[in-house]
A = this chain, B = another copy of it.
Amino acid sequence: MSRGHMDVTVQADNPACPVSEVLDRVAGKWAIGILVAAAKGPVRFSELERGIEGISRRMLTLNLRKLEREGLLVRTVYPTVPPRVEYECTEMALELYETLLSLVDWAKRHSGDIARAHAVYDAAHSPTAPA
C-alpha cells in the first residue's frame, strides 16, 4: 500500500457497522446498569427503580422494553394482586456481559494512558495554551 489514497469508505459491509449495531443495543445511560442488576437473578420493576440511582420510571420502562425486544431480558408477569413483574437476563445477555468484561479489562489496562491523553489534550487546548 502506498499509504495515501486508500479506500476508507464505510458501508454496510464494513466491520464498523456490526460493532455499532451491538453497541447501540447496550448504549445509553441505563442499559448496562439494568443488565448488571438483572444478571444477579430475576428482579422486580420497583427493585430496579429503587436500585438504579437517578433513573426515571419512563426511562426504566423504555430500556426494559428495548432490552426485552433485543432478547436480552425476559419479562414475566405473575397475575397476582398486587401485580408482580420480574425481569431476568437471558443466556445470551449473560454471554454478552462476559464479553463486555473484556472492554473493562481494556479500560483498566489503559486508564493511565487515557488520563494522560486527556491531560495532554486539555493542556494543549487550554486558554493559556502555548502557540
Interface of A with B (CB < 8 Å)?
Answer: 1, 3, 5-11, 14-16, 18-23, 26-27, 29, 32-33, 35-38, 40-43, 47-48, 51-53, 68-71, 92, 95-96, 99-108, 110, 113-114, 116-118, 121-122
Copies in the complex: 2
Contact of B104 with A102 in the complex, beta carbons under 8 Å:
no
Interface of A is mostly: helix
Q: Which residues from chain B contact A16 at a C-beta distance below 8 Å?
A: 32-33, 35-37
Q: Complex: how many Å from CA A53 to CA B17? A: 12
Kindly provide the distance from the CB of A107 to the nearest chain B CB, expressed in whole angstroms: 4
Q: Complex: how many Å from CA A116 to CA B70? A: 9
